[in-house]
Amino acid sequence: MEDKNSKEMQKVIKIVIVEDFKLTRVGLRCALNANDDMEVVAESENAIDGVKYVERYRPDVVLMDLGLPGMNGIEAMIKIKEFAPETKIIALTSHDRAEEVVAALSSGASAYCLKDIDPQKLADVVRDVSIGVCWIDPVVAQLALNSFPKVENVGFLPNKSQSEGRVPLTEREFEVLKHLVSGKSNTEIAKELIVSVHTAKAHVCSILQKMCVNDRVQAAVKAVKEGMV
């Protein structure tokens, strides 16, 4: 009886899928609904109906394809964020262009996933995004990073003052920032650096404050655009 009550009290993540390819929609729905803590409440083949479903159901997470007919996914994300800023959006696409990554993240996406992502990994991303964690596919993050030119011998070095136009991150914070740009969670960063999750989280919070950004996605985008990593 206790297990049943516990399951009934478990928060279920409500999801809306916006994807024009039917087979992909079906696959996403089946993969996500296979998790006890997730429920696909609506799905749409176009952005216009997708936006309407988000307004109607107020889901926790939206899986948004970017290459949609008519209104594209970027436009849809902007509209959704206007009336449902609390809804998290995962950009799900087969494209790996750096400019598209920046456009999606700048338009309100909390995550950017390629469509060949492992189903279980996608479920983990949905869970993380639903509680405010941001995630970028490591392959995409590296492509975005490589698209920005590097200036030889002019890096963002630790302990530089803001008056010099540098973000004053410590050497350890630069290490954390590199992992953050690669899409790693606090837990993954902690494992990489052999520190506690609490310490990793503290470093991330310090980075956000020093970079004058509100979240991990903004930090990652700013770091890539300004050549910080």
Whichever domain contains 25, its CATH number is 3.40.50.2300
Q: Let me know if 11 is exposed, middle or buried by CB neighbors in 10 A (0-12, 13-18, 19+).
A: exposed
Q: Which of 67-81, 86-100, 181-195 has the highest mean pLDDT?
A: 67-81
141 lies in a domain? no
Q: Do residue 101 and residue 206 come from a single domain?
A: no
Q: pLDDT at position 147, please?
A: 54
Residue 192 lies in a domain: yes
Q: Count of domains in the chain?
A: 2
Do 131 and 64 fall within a single domain?
yes
**226/229 Cα distance (integer angstroms):** 8
Q: What pLDDT score was predicted for residue 148?
A: 52
Structural domain includes residue 87 = yes
Cα 68 from Cα 173, distance rounded (Å): 38
pLDDT at 53: 98
Q: Are residues 179 and 217 in the same domain?
A: yes
Spatial separation of the C-alpha atoms in residues 75 and 22, rounded to whole Å: 21
In a domain, 72, yes or no: yes
Q: Which strand (E) or helix (H) includes residue 18?
A: strand 13-18
Distances (CA, A) of 123 to 105, 114, 229: 20, 13, 29
What's the pLDDT at 4? 45
Closest among 218, 15, 202, 226 to 110, alpha carbons compared: 218
Each residue's pLDDT tens digit, 134-171: 888 877 776 666 655 454 444 444 443 343 445 678 88
The enclosing domain of 187 has a CATH number of: 1.10.10.10
Q: What is the DSSP letter of 151?
A: P
pLDDT, average across residues 10-29: 94
Q: What is the DSSP letter of 149?
A: P
CA distance 159 to 147: 26
Q: What percent of the chain has pLDDT over 70?
A: 83
Residue 99 lies in a domain: yes
Query: Could you tell me if 162 and 218 lie in one domain?
Result: yes
73 with 24, same domain: the answer is: yes
Cα→Cα distances 207→70, 75, 124, Å: 39, 30, 24
State pLDDT tens for residues 49-85.
Answer: 999 999 999 999 999 999 898 899 999 999 999 999 9
What residues make up the domain containing 130?
Answer: 2-136
Higher-scoring residue by pLDDT: 189, 144: 189
Distance CA 229, CA 145 (A): 8
